[in-house]
Structure 1
Amino acid sequence: MNERLAPVLRTADANAAVAWYARLGFQKQWEHRFAPELPLYVSIARGALEIHLSEHTGDARPGTLLYLYVDDLDAAAAACGVGEVEQMDWGREFEVTDPDGNRLRVGAVQR
């Protein structure tokens, strides 16, 4: 079975969002637009992780929260310009907000 889940995040500018998520190692996989004047829909991925970014107003609401587990939390924090990672009861993490108000909480993979 090769199932996967791709959450959709609302964005006003998909290309700007692609650049923002690149700091965390996400790369554009593909994009789709029905016509040049219509909204853009983009898939970004980091390994097996996939997120869809949509300029379509009905696809998702700004302000969504995603939790991303990474192997090197300190490197991810540095790439996002985060100076201090918080120590929580469940582990270390930090939170950043993309240009569209979507929140990304990033935590260390528990070994």
Structure 2
Amino acid sequence: MDEEAIPILHVKDAAVAVAWYGRLGFTQQWEHRFEPGLPAFVEVARGRVRLFLSEHKGDARPNTLVYLRVHDVDAIAAEFGDRPQDAPWAREIELHDPDGNRLRVGTPRQ
């Protein structure tokens, strides 16, 4: 097993969040609920990148910022109808998920 850090993002509706993150190329790996009707805790992954999406109160703060380094930010920008900006370190866009979490997505300059 490789060691890793996995950000936890607070979401109000895990199904809505999973669909939104699907547009970024993430797929749902699993979902846990202690009982039917209780809050969900979900893992989504894009290659080796993983995020936890939690409906539980207190797991994460709203308006969190996560940086995603990707191979083709232009393709993601097109999916969301956005245009990347050029920074000295990368070509980037900033997206907001349905719950207000911010994702800065960039392709490093070579």
Distance in 2 separating the partners of 1:89 and 1:2: 31
Q: Which runs of 5+ in 1 are unaligned?
A: none
**Cα deviation digits, residues 49-81 of structure 1 (max 9, x gap):** 000000001100110000001101110111122
Percent of residue pairs bearing the same amino acid type: 56
Q: What is the correspondence of 1:1-111 to structure 2 with a 5 Å cutoff?
A: 2-82=2-82, 84-111=83-110
Q: RMSD of the alignment, in Å?
A: 1.1
Q: CA contact under 8 A between 2:91 and 2:109: conserved in structure 1? A: no
Q: Which runs of 4+ in 1 moved over 4 A?
A: none
Distance 2:108 2:76 in 1: 12
TM-score by length of 1: 0.94
Check conservation: 2:89, 2:108, Cα contact below 8 A.
no
Query: Number of matched residues?
Result: 110
For residues 12 and 94 of structure 2, what CA distance do their matches in structure 1 show? 21
User: Take 1:91 and 1:2, find their aligned partners in 2: how far apart are those partners?
Assistant: 26
Structure 2 gaps, min length 5 = none
Please report the TM-score for the alignment, with normalisation by the length of structure 2.
Answer: 0.95
